[in-house]
Structure 1
Amino acid sequence: MRPLLGVVLLLMFSPAQADWEWDFLTRGHWYTGLQVGYTETKIDAGTAHPVTLHALGGYQFNPYLGIETRIGLGLNDDTVVDDVEAGIDSYYGLYLTGTWPLTDWVKLYGLLGATNLDLEANDQPSQRSDSATDLSYGVGFSLYATEQLSLNLEVISWVEKGRFDVSALNFGVRYDF
């Protein structure tokens, strides 16, 4: 225990400590946004394209790294074949975001996290519901209209399970505080 304590104290008071920036948590900012998505929902019977809407919020630790949460719902169901309709009931997720500023007004970003998604399928006269949580990933870009307001376009894969696969093309707006 003493050697470990000695190493910790040595590191705390070493000259290298002066270069460490501990204020990375206070240099960031909060943001919020809204996105509409055109999804590709693959189920056993075929593919549906329901529309979704979600709110997002997050914290940007620095220009390159952030954390984000999203909660959304399906706005409509889509016909897969004949009498079979499918739609997204609701979803939520937590993501780590990596941002690459190309210019002051254009930024590329990536998302990596987990999404829980509830899907409904209606094949008259019965209705089925299924839920899954999976690793999610996506890429997109933001165009800043002002220093705080941006438009974004992204492609994201929410769930890739054997029962169903859901991915989306999302378009939205984000406001940085």
Structure 2
Amino acid sequence: MKKFNLSLVAVLAMSTFAIAGGDIAPVEPVIETPMVEESTPGNFYLGLGYGMLTATQTTTFGNTATTNFDDDFNEVMLQAGYKFNPYIALEGRYWIGLEDSYAINNGTGAVTADASIDAWGVYVKPQYPITDSLDVYALLGYANADITTTTPAGYVFSPDSVDGFSWGLGADYFFTDNVAVFVDYVNIYDDTKGIANNGEVSTQVDTINFGVTYQF
């Protein structure tokens, strides 16, 4: 009887495994799809800034130097650019110097003159992200500045238009993906040119700006 019971248990067990085995499906291996990081498209941006623009011009004959003008202007700057990737952008700027008055010597005494200046520049803008929000950058390009000083009698004392290599350094901080504030220094023009009678005219125009940009 004992042998019969063991045999019955064995048969039932085998039947159970056979039935259960019919329900077992092969386990398919899990294939993980690698994540592919999407490339960041370029971004167009616009900016508006305010700052201080300094213009100095000196004429030298031999050991005698005469300052044509040396003035500081409040200025408004318009900015537009295209950011190709996190490391390079192309940018254009236009500075509008607010008219200022100062005293000059016209040879017979001091008179009050009105000075005005406008400038523009086109730059390649290498940049480097220090953090997700903070970038530092350089500006390397070409700029032009138009400077005019006029006396009360309407005499244009020192009109000049200068152009050449321009450079700058700055940083911007993004509060959101679209809005950033920036501060920078730009040397718009700094050069010396020869004139008649072995004279030289040295002109320097530079500016410190701070403002806000919106990236589309």
> Into which bin does the TM-score normalised by the smaller protein fall?
0.7 to 0.9
Aligned pairs for 1:1-177 within 5 A? 27-44=41-58, 45=67, 46-79=69-102, 81=104, 82-83=110-111, 85=113, 87-125=115-153, 126-127=155-156, 128-162=158-192, 163=201, 164-177=203-216
- Name which of structure 1's ranges 67-76 and 27-36 shifts more when overlaid on structure 2: 67-76
Distance across 1 between alignment mates of 2:90 and 2:163: 18
CA distance in 1, matches of 2:114, 2:74: 11
Q: CA deviation at 1:78?
A: 4.4
Larger radius of gyration: 2
Q: How far is the alpha carbon of 1:89 from its aligned partner?
A: 2.9
The alpha-carbon distance between structure 1 residues 106 and 87, as it changes in their structure 2 partners (threshold 3 A), is farther
How far apart, CA to CA, are the structure 1 residues paired with 2:42 and 2:174?
18
Equivalences, count: 154
Q: Is 1:53–1:72's contact at 8 Å kept on the other side of the alignment?
A: yes
Q: Which runs of 5+ in 2 are unaligned?
A: 1-38, 59-66, 105-109, 193-200
Compared with structure 1, are the counterparts of its residues 63 and 121 closer, same or farther at alpha carbon in structure 2 (3 Å cutoff)?
same
| Structure 1 residue 79, shift from structure 2 partner | 2.0
Question: What CA distance in whole angstroms lies between the structure 2 residues aligned with 1:138 and 1:104?
Answer: 22
Q: Which moved more, 1:150-159 or 1:32-41?
A: 32-41
- Which position in structure 2 is the counterpart of 1:3? none
Q: 2:25 corresponds to which residue? A: none
Q: Report the identity percentage.
A: 27
Alpha-carbon contact 1:108-1:140 (below 8 Å) kept: yes
Q: For the aligned residues, what is the CA RMSD? A: 2.1
Q: Matches of 1:119 and 1:53 in 2, distance apart?
A: 16
The CA distance in 2 between the partners of 1:90 and 1:105, in whole Å, is: 32
**Partners of 1:49 and 1:156 in 2: CA distance:** 14
Q: Secondary structure of 2:139's partner?
A: strand
Q: Which range moved further: 158-167 or 133-142?
A: 158-167
> For the residues of structure 2 that align with 1:106 and 1:99, how far apart are their CA atoms?
10
Distance 1:90 1:151 in 2: 23
Stretch of structure 1 that moved more, 124-133 or 48-57 = 124-133
Secondary structure of the structure 2 residue equivalent to 1:27: coil
**2:56 partner letter:** K
Cα contact 1:84–1:121 (8 A) shared by 2: no
Alignment CA distance shift 1:36-1:172 (3 Å): same
> Structure 1 stretches of 5 or more lacking a match?
1-23
CA contact (8 A) 1:74 1:87 kept: no
Q: Contact (CA 8 Å) 1:115, 1:134: kept in 2 or not?
A: yes
